[in-house]
A and B are shown apart, each in its own frame.
Chain A
Amino acid sequence: KNEVEQSPQNLTAQEGEFITINCSYSVGISALHWLQQHPGGGIVSLFMLSSGKKKHGRLIATINIQEKHSSLHITASHPRDSAVYICAARGYNTDKLIFGTGTRLQVFP
């Protein structure tokens, strides 16, 4: 069993739909990262959170420390949101990230 698991692996949506990507982890963490990898391969850090919720534009990330679960939400999805979304857990006293396998999102117009 992977230490960081994501679901679903693949997700398709129509433009405008509300999207949720889930991440569960089995290790103790100091922070949880959400990354976006574009079709061209570039990786961008979206969020880093250790509690509660963060919002940036149409993106919202939440984390429940007790349940060891995080979600990434996209409101009013757009084709340009099509990418692979990766969650990564950082343990205590380390900068090492353990990555989930990613969720491939395709948003159709």
Chain B
Amino acid sequence: DAGVIQSPRHEVTEMGQEVTLRCKPISGHNSLFWYRQTMMRGLELLIYFNNNVPIDDSGMPEDRFSAKMPNASFSTLKIQPSEPRDSAVYFCASSPPGTRYNEQFFGPGTRLTVL
């Protein structure tokens, strides 16, 4: 099992540029989560999907952020336009179907730096 795959692992961009982060969940998992981690705020949920449908996007900071899950094996998080305060580590996680209480499996994260 390859685990949750995220790309790129590191991204450095300039303010105003569009940034797209990618995530491939573990095969067979039906829930996918996008998190952001900063020194100031720690880990925060941005959005999560269940069966490719967005369930809770209350953590998405503002309209500059958007997330899609076109199929069960792929999701993107897009920031347009990016700002220096978006610099953070972005984690994707997935969890399997089944019982109500499932653990989440985290990807390695994408470290984003916006100059």
Contacts and interface: CB of A to CB of B under 8 A. Distances in A.
Interface of A: 30-31, 33, 35, 41-45, 48, 50, 86, 88, 90, 94-102
Contacts of B55: 94-95
Contacts of B108: 41-42
B57 to A, nearest CB: 11
Interface residues of B, number: 25
Given A86-B43, A95-B31, A96-B48, A31 B106 contact: no
Contacts of A35: 106
A49 B31 CA distance: 19
A98 B102 CA distance: 15
Interface of B: 31, 33, 42-45, 48, 50, 55-56, 59, 89, 91, 93, 95, 100-106, 108-109, 111
Given A41-B89, A42-B106, A96 B101 contact: no
Contact of B105 (A45, A86, A95): A45
B28 to A, nearest CB: 16
Given A43-B91, A86-B43, A96-B56, A48 B101 contact: yes
Contacts of A33: 103-104
Contacts of B56: 94-96
A95 B57 CA distance: 12
Contacts of A100: 42
14 contacts: A30-B100, A31-B101, A42-B106, A43-B91, A43-B109, A48-B102, A50-B101, A86-B43, A94-B55, A95-B95, A95-B102, A98-B45, A99-B43, A101-B42
Nearest to A101: B42
B24 to A, nearest CB: 16
Contacts of B111: 41
